[in-house]
A and B are shown apart, each in its own frame.
Chain A
Amino acid sequence: DAGVIQSPRHEVTEMGQEVTLRCKPISGHNSLFWYRQTMMRGLELLIYFNNNVPIDDSGMPEDRFSAKMPNASFSTLKIQPSEPRDSAVYFCASSLEHRDYGYTFGSGTRLTVV
């Protein structure tokens, strides 16, 4: 298996632009998580899906952030409009519900908003 695949690896955008981050989970995994990592706040859970349904989005910072999972093999995290404080590394992770081997993380997307 290729693991969790995220794209792009790096994204530099201007303030006010729309940014879309993409994730392909491991085939067969039915839970998907979006995390944001910064030096100040560490790993923050933004939202997670189970069987393509959003279960907990309490970590989504504000209405500028939205996430979708149209099918079991694809998810997007969108920021519109982007702001400099959104600069961070965004990770996607997937897991198989009720299995104790934790999450498998992707390599992340480093977002820089200038």
Chain B
Amino acid sequence: GENVEQHPSTLSVQEGDSAVIKCTYSDSASNYFPWYKQELGKGPQLIIDIRSNVGEKKDQRIAVTLNKTAKHFSLHITETQPEDSAVYFCAARYDGNEKLTFGTGTRLTIIP
């Protein structure tokens, strides 16, 4: 089955700086890669996703890049703000499979 590894497990950045979280996946058939943000006491919330037919997708201050050959994808947050502090999860799945395989999460702390 699919295996998703996520790094780092914790990340602290100064407010205004950029943050990058990286994930690798094992199943070359995977073609859908969402990212979730989980704030304290809440369920994970989808913030951005990408399919394997594109290499990059942006939404305001967040972007996701995908390298199919290397089987890794990354979340980039620019101009970080205190409200970006949360746990972020990457995930992967392939068409026809409803199951998402999640990474182990990254706790991002923005230092004011």
Contact = CB atoms under 8 A, between A and B. Distances in A.
A107 B49 CA distance: 21
Interface residues on A, range: 20 to 34
Contact of A45 (B34, B46, B99, B103): B99
A15 B98 CA distance: 34
A44 B27 CA distance: 18
Nearest to A6: B43
SS class of chain A's interface: helix, strand, loop or mixed? strand
A103 interface: yes
A14 interface: no
A105 interface: yes
Given A91-B43, A105-B45, A107-B43, A100 B32 contact: yes
27 contacts: A31-B98, A33-B99, A42-B103, A43-B102, A43-B105, A45-B99, A48-B98, A48-B99, A50-B98, A55-B98, A56-B99, A91-B44, A93-B43, A95-B98, A98-B95, A101-B46, A102-B34, A102-B46, A102-B49, A102-B91, A103-B46, A105-B36, A105-B43, A105-B44, A105-B45, A107-B43, A108-B42
Interface of A: 4, 31, 33, 42-43, 45, 48, 50, 55-56, 91, 93, 95, 97-98, 100-108
Interface of B: 32, 34, 36, 41-46, 49, 51, 89, 91, 95, 98-100, 102-105
Given A43-B102, A55-B98, A100-B51, 8 more contacts: A33-B99, A42-B103, A56-B99, A101-B46, A102-B91, A104-B46, A107-B41, A107-B42
